[in-house]
Chains A and B, each alone.
Chain A
Amino acid sequence: MDGAEANRKFAQSLGATFPILSDPEKTTAKAYGVLNFTHLFANRVTFVIDKDGVIQHVDKGSDAIDPTGACGACTGLQPKKP
C-alpha cells in the first residue's frame, strides 16, 4: 500500500536486499484475497509460490511473522542434490 519512497526508507532501515513492492491500487492484495475487511490495508499473509506459479504454503497472522514455516516450505522446493 505504501509508496516506493516509504518502501525505500523501510528497505534501508532493514538492510533488505529483496524487493519491497508497492500496491497502491490494492489490486494484488485483492487478487490474493488478503485485503483487510476495511479495504484500507492488507492482512499479514505470506505465500510461498513454486516455479510453476502454484501456491505451496500459506502463513497468516502471527504465523506470518515467524518465517520458519515459509523457510521450511522453500527448503522443500529446492532441487534435490544428486
Chain B
Amino acid sequence: MLIRWFLVAIALVILCLLFPLASKAQLKVGDRAPDFALQGQNGQTVKLSDFLGKKSVVLAFYIKASTPG
C-alpha cells in the first residue's frame, strides 16, 4: 500500500516537471511586442525590428505546419 502511494507521489512530481504551470502570461493589447529574429521558410532571417517605423505586422502562432484550421 505504501509503495502504491510512493509511486503516485513520484508520478505527480514527474507530471509537475513535464507541465510547468508557471507559464508566462500571454501578451495583451497595449503591450510592447518583444523583438524576435527567426528563420523563414526560405532560410531568410526575419526580425520584428526590421518592420518598426515602416509597416504593421500580423504575427500568427499556430500549432504545427500542414495541419488543418
Contacts and interface: CB of A to CB of B under 8 A. Distances in A.
A53 B33 contact: yes
B26 A37 contact: no
Nearest to B56: A77
Interface residues on B, range: 35 or more
Interface residues on A, range: 35 or more
Contacts of B69: 44, 65
A30 to B, nearest CB: 6
A33 B27 contact: yes
A22 B40 CA distance: 6
Contacts of B34: 28, 31-32
Interface string B25-62: 11111111111101111111010110111111111111
B32 A53 contact: yes
B65 interface: yes
Given A43-B63, A55-B28, 5 more contacts: A32-B26, A47-B60, A53-B35, A53-B48, A57-B29
8 contacts: A7-B41, A13-B66, A28-B36, A30-B24, A45-B60, A51-B55, A51-B56, A55-B31
The 5 A-B pairs of least Cβ separation, nearest first, read: A33-B26, A10-B65, A19-B40, A21-B38, A7-B41
